[in-house]
Structures are given as structure tokens and as C-alpha cells.
Chains A and B, each alone.
Chain A
Amino acid sequence: MHAEEKLTYETWPAEPEKSTLEAKNKFLGFWFFLGGETVLFASLFATYLALKDKVPDSTHHLAKDLFELPLTFVATMLLLTSSLTSVYAMYHMKNFNAKKMNLWLVITLLLGAAFLVLEIYEFNHYVHEFHHTFTSSAFGSAFYTLVGFHGGHVAFGLLWITTLIVRNAKRGLDLYNAPKFYVASLYWHFIDVVWVFIFTVVYLMGMVG
């Protein structure tokens, strides 16, 4: 099958994300990329754990003073839900339904954006209420770097998926853009999984001390 072919609901393959060689390559290559990203975040997690609560003196706040469960819980729920909505989008992609796919992707984007807004609020809160900043201590540097890296990934994902939707709004699905949507959703799931770890390692473990 060629990537440019015009397809219909009937001729649309069961696995449109892997039905050309280019698509197969993209699919596999992206998995490898996520493997590298995993190591990247693992390194950041290790750094964070090594520097957690490492502050110059006792006037600085520690993890247990900073974090609040309700806020991060809402953020977690937003991101988990957005992962689910991106699954719906891919379901419609596989059924050759570009309209519904786009709809679910837009919902995913909105949830992601809401998450990002909460995160910005949270950072702002720490800086102003607790004077816990990027430069105030090694703990601060490690915290903002780890969580900020994740936030940056979310922001990039939002831009990426938006570009995809806008670029392909008129022409509908084909075997050239289907894999692009698919790997974008893979990326989104990955971000979600990383957040689950951040939620556990940074926030939950932070609150118990």
C-alpha cells in the first residue's frame, strides 16, 4: 500500500499506523525514542531523589511543608482522563472517522491545557508563599527541573497535536498521516505514565516525609 493512496472506510486497513514500511519504521522508531526518554526521566528522578529536601538551612521549606494533595490529585485526574480521551481518538482513527477523532483530540488538548494551567498555578504558589524557587536550594532546582521537564513535554505535546489537527483538518485520514496521529497519542500516553511516577515519587512520597 502506498502512503498517498486515497482510501475509503472499506479499504482502510485494520492497523493503519503500521501498514506501510515508512509507518512501521516510524512506529518502531518512536518506541525507541520513548525508551530514550524513559532513561532521561529516570536520570531526573534519580537526581531529584538524591537532592530531595537538601536545603542550605532550616528556613527553607521541605517537601512535606509544600505539597497539597487536592491540587495534585485534580491535576492527575485531568491528565489521566486526557489519556483516555486520546484512546477514543485513536479508536475513531482506526475506524476511518476523522471528524470524531479530531473531536476527541480537541478534548484531549483541553484537558492537557487545564493540567498545564494548574501546574503553573502550583509553581507560582510555591514561589510566592514559600519562597521555594529554582535557585533557592538544590531541592528547589531538582524539583522544578523534574516537574518542569514534564510540563515542557506536555506543552510540546499540545503544540504537536494542535499542528497535526490543523494541518490535516481539510484532507481527512490517509496512510501518510494516520501514523503521525498514532505516535502523537503514544507520546501523550508516555507523558501520562511519567506523571503517574511524578505523582507517586514527588508528591505522595513527599507528603509522607
Chain B
Amino acid sequence: MSTYAQKKGFGATLWDYLTTVDHKKIAILYLIAGGFFFVVGGLEAVFIRIQLAVPNNDFVSAGLFNEIITMHGTTMIFLAAMPLVFAFMNAVMPLQIGARDVAFPFVNALGFWLFFFGGVFLNLSWFFDGAPDAGWTSYASLAMASKGHGVDFYVLGLQISGIGTLIGGINFLVTIINMRAPGMTYMRMPLFTWSTFVTSALILFAFPPLTVGLVLMMFDRMFGSNFFEASMGGNTVIWEHLFWIFGHPEVYILVLPAFGIFSEIFAMFSRKRLFGYSSMVFATVLIGFLGFMVWAHHMFTTGLGPVANAIFAVATMAIGVPTGIKIFNWLLTMWGGSVKFTTPMHYAVAFIPSFVAGGVTGVMLAAAAADYQYHDTYFVVAHFHYVIVGGVVFAILAGTHLYWPKMFGTMLNETLGKITFWLFFIGFHMTFFIQHFLGLWGMPRRVFTYLPGQGFETSNLISSLGAVFMSLGVIVLLYNVIMTSVKNERVGNDPWGDGRTLEWSLPSPPPFYNFKQLPLVRGLDAYWLEKMEGKKGMTPAEPLGDIHMPNASFLPFVIAFGLFVAAFGALFNMDDKAWSVPVIIIGLLITFGAMFLRSVKDDHGFHIHKEELMEDDNDKGVKA
């Protein structure tokens, strides 16, 4: 199979990706789509910084500015960071546990296409009368007052992509529970797999409240219900609760996989097993659990009263403990190790001070009474960018360099990688460190401009200059990707030479069935153990036999596309357009028709026979 994959034309490749249910190809789809939205969100960030570079600037208008900040936040969280994290989960997690695919390959593809069409739908708002402008938190009173269709795009787009994320989470949970290779016990799972597991559980429980909130807002805006209409008995604080019950775990949904990626990197490039593995697992689970207990710290100034504020303050501080455990474990993993400063390791090392800075300001924010001062100021902006850029984006960039050879079979250039790192690292601190002070000096967040004479000028200019460096870093990365793809120097199983976990025992990229024979796992860092005993690969746990594989399918694309069409109908139904109802019906017919087809048409998949697998072996023998 792999031999004629390379000869395919563009059309065939496109069709292949539109219909694929292979987790490795879906990972590439997530990487491309997420990367695209990352660039879009990044451009929006640059516009924000241009507008705020000098006081009383009129680069963009006030209304447009609010659209830009809303879309920057929404895009970066839902359409860039999450899919990019999903890309690595898809690419690596099944390989790490020794599985041939995820539990529900069809659902996996469906999840991607739902996210993709939800994201496209949301961004199309720019081309109809305006993007959402009520902030990524879309607080109900402002969102209800927002004119135009921006908020409707937000509500519908996020519902569609949210379903995609939810089923993705369920898929990973089942995969990790049911599909581990022989010997891969829970306490032998690599930490990235563990963080995928906990993250998926968080997704499962965090996304439904968001969905409910979005549905209520949709009902209010489109069908005249009164959930958030104070004069009719409604209450906008309900939205705040629902949003943050989702929104806080969301932070951990993003940052736990980042912790996972860094855990892999620290161990690999220190050539040492992760220090305190079991306490790392415990800390991951504990952070996930506590993540659900602290949502109201985003609402300290809402007026919940001192009792609620005090409880949530203390609960929030408690999260500092497991996070601290992790930091020290990472440091001690490097301690006594043999540390090699590859590009991924640069990010990992830089992550520690950056994330610690974000973490300590997190504890400061947890002190409720003091938070009355920090809340909704640039201090908060600085804090969460330290956590999300210093944690999540660093991890995504590190993961991109680390797993690139595994996903595409060729390395990214290390020199260019380090240039990207330094540009991004310097730009990041330059942009965000000063913002702590801007907040403390009294600058509220989400302001489209500021008046001179309040002491904000120099600092904002510095902050804007930092954004230039970050942009340059991203441009170098894009250049790196293009250059190395053109050169396309193929690499072997373990291009970094320090691989510890199962994915590095496979060819880069792995064959579409991953493992010819499922490997026998004898401990943590399974591949490392074999390497240390002088073996070249894993010991198989089963004789060579037929492999059962799922069929490719176009239906996931169609199901998601139907919802995309229906969402357009629903949106314009508010304007009493005559064509809107037929569009809703057509869209839903497409979706439910495709679901019906999926349900009544048996899909048993196919088998790769033993003989073909042996031929594959010979092919390679010839090539090598």
C-alpha cells in the first residue's frame, strides 16, 4: 500500500484526505487546519498590537477592534490550540500505546470535519455583516445586545465544532482503555498518553455545559426565549457559570497535553526516565479533578458574596501544589541527566521559567480580595498569555519540531528551529511581561484605545514591538516547513536517537496499520528498554496474522457539511429570509441522510492478509 501511495496525483491525494479514517492522516489534517487558524489568530493579535501601539490610535475602529479581540480569543482557543493539541494526540497517542488505530476511526474523522466546518463557519462571519464582538467569553448581556449576526456565528459555529471535540474526547478515552498493546498497563503509559486520557475526560465533562450555554443563547437570540433577559425574570449570571464551568477546565484541556509533550521531551533529551513518574500521573489526574472545582475564580467581581469567593480562592490556590510537583519533577528529570539542547528541548527549557511566571501570577490572582484589582485588567491578559503561550504554544511548537519526522518522515531544520525559538521567546516576554504592570497601573483589558497622560504609552509600545519578534519567529517556522518539505530528506525510525516510547520503534511515517505485530511492552519507556538491551526493535506479542482495518469513508465530511449548511439557514432565519427554512431542511437532510446511510449500510472494514504484510517487508528489503 505504502508503495503506490507516493505515485498518487493531487486529486487522488485530496480524495484520500477527504475520506481518510487513519489517525495519522487525521492528525495531519488537524495540524494543517489548526496551523491555518493559528496564523489567522496571530494576524488578529498583530492588529490588536498595532492599534494599541500608541494612544488614541485609529488603525481600526472601536467596533472592529471588539470583533478582532473576540475572534482572536475564540480562534486561538477553539480553532488553533485545541486542534493542534488534537493533532499530536492523534499522531502519537495510538502509537504510544501500541494500537493500530483509535477505537472509532469513523468518529475520529467526523470529529475533525465537525471542528473544521464549525471553524470555517465562525470565520465566515467576517464576510457577512461582521464578526462576533462580545469577547470570547461572550457575556450574555452584551451578547444579547450585540447587533448583526456576529454572535449568532459564534453560537452556531462553536456548537458544531464543540460536538466534534466532544466525540474526539470520547474516542481517545475508549482507545486508551481498550486498545493498549499487551503489557501496556496504565502505569506504563507514557505521560503524553496519560495527559491525553485526563484531557479527554475533561472534554467529556466540560463541553456539555458550554453546549447548554450556547443553546440557551441561541434560543434567546433566535427564538425569543428569556434566559438572559432580566426584565422577563432571566439571569445573565447563569451564562457566566455555564461558560466558566466549561472555560476553566478548558485551560487544563489545553495545558495538560502541553505538560505531556514536555514530559516526553525532558525525558528524551536528558536520556533519563521521567523523575517521579507515578507522582506525575497523580498530579495530572489531580489537576484535572481540581480543574472542575475552581470556575468561579473568573467571577470574583460578579458579586457572588464572600463565602463563595473565599472557597473558590482557596480551591484555586490548591491547584498550585500539583503543578509545583510537576515543575520540580521536570527539573529533577534533567538533574543528573545528559541534556541535549535540540529545538524541542529549547522550548521545554524555556517553558519552565515562563510557565512558573504564569503559575505564580495565577496564585496571586487566586487571592480573591486582591483579584478585585487584577480582574479584567492587563494583568490578567499577561497572566493567561504566560500560561497559554508560555505553556501551550511553546508545547505546540516543541511538538511540531519533535513529531514532525514521525508525521512526515523528514526533519525540520534545527538551525532554523532555534532561530524561530529565540525570536518567539524574546518576542513573547517582551510583549507580555510589561502587561502585568500595565494592568496594575490601571489599564483595563479589551480597550480599543487609551488616552495619553495615564502612563501607558511606553509600555504599550514595547509590548507591540514584542509582537513583531513573535511574528518573525512564525515566519521563519513557515519557511522552515517549506524548505524541508521540498528537500524531503527521509529519516529512520528514531531520528532524534533518544526515543524512549513506542512511536520511535516504528518507521517514520509508520505504515497505515502501524504495527505489523503488536509489540510486547515490558515496562515504562518500552522502546528504550529494548534499545538498552541491544535490540533493534520491539519483541512482537503475537504471531504475524491478518490485520483488520476500517474502510475509508466520505460520510464524515458529508455529515459535518450538512450541519454547516443548516447553520447558515438558521442564522438567516432571524431575518425572515424566505430561503432560510429550505436551507435548514436541506442541511439537516444531508446530515441525517448521511447518518442514516451510515447506520443501515454495514461497514465491516477489510483485512490485510498475512501474505501482503510479508510482501511489504520484502519491498522494504529491496529499497534498503
Contact = CB atoms under 8 A, between A and B. Distances in A.
Question: Do A and B touch directly, given a CB cutoff of 8 Å in the complex?
Answer: yes
Interface of A: 3-4, 21, 24-25, 28-29, 32-33, 35-37, 39-40, 43-44, 46-47, 50-51, 54-56, 134-135, 137-142, 145, 163, 167, 176
29 contacts: A4-B604, A28-B177, A28-B178, A32-B170, A33-B170, A36-B170, A39-B208, A40-B212, A43-B209, A43-B245, A47-B227, A47-B242, A51-B227, A54-B233, A54-B235, A55-B232, A56-B232, A56-B233, A134-B224, A137-B226, A138-B227, A138-B232, A138-B234, A138-B235, A140-B226, A141-B216, A141-B225, A141-B227, A142-B227
Contacts of B596: 163
B235 A50 contact: yes
Given A46-B241, A145-B216, A176-B604, 12 more contacts: A25-B179, A29-B170, A33-B170, A36-B205, A40-B211, A43-B213, A47-B242, A54-B235, A56-B233, A137-B226, A138-B229, A163-B600
Contacts of B604: 3-4, 176
B282 interface: no
Residue among B170, B220, B600, B604 having the largest count of chain A Cβ atoms under 10 Å: B170
A25 B173 contact: no
Chain B interface helix/strand/loop/mixed: helix
A36 B233 contact: no
A47 B225 CA distance: 13
A202 B242 CA distance: 20
A163 B599 contact: yes
Interface in B146-181: 166, 170-171, 173-174, 177-179
B10 interface: no
A137 B235 CA distance: 11
Contacts of B171: 29
B207 A25 contact: no
Nearest to A60: B233
B212 A47 contact: yes
B209 A39 contact: yes
Interface in B175-231: 177-179, 204-205, 207-209, 211-213, 215-216, 219-220, 223-227, 229, 231
A50 B171 CA distance: 33
Nearest to B206: A39
Contact of A137 (B104, B208, B232): B232
Contact of A55 (B204, B224, B227, B233): B233
Interface in B482-541: none
A138 B77 CA distance: 31
A195 B436 CA distance: 50
A209 to B, nearest CB: 17
B357 interface: no
Contact of A25 (B103, B205, B223): B103
A98 B512 CA distance: 38
A135 B107 CA distance: 37
A152 to B, nearest CB: 11
B204 A167 contact: no
Nearest to B220: A141
Contacts of A3: 604
Residue among B107, B171, B209, B245 having the largest count of chain A Cβ atoms under 10 Å: B209
A162 B599 CA distance: 12
The 6 closest A-B pairs by CB, nearest first: A54-B233, A138-B233, A141-B225, A40-B208, A43-B212, A138-B234
B164 to A, nearest CB: 13
A135 B224 CA distance: 6
A24 B241 CA distance: 36
A24 B229 contact: no
A139 B233 contact: yes
Nearest to A134: B225
Nearest to B601: A167
Given A24-B178, A28-B177, A135-B226, A167 B599 contact: yes
A47 B179 CA distance: 38
Contacts of A25: 103-104, 174, 178-179
B166 A36 contact: yes
Contacts of A137: 226, 232-233
B234 A135 contact: no
Interface in B98-126: 103-104, 107
B481 interface: no
B229 A35 contact: no
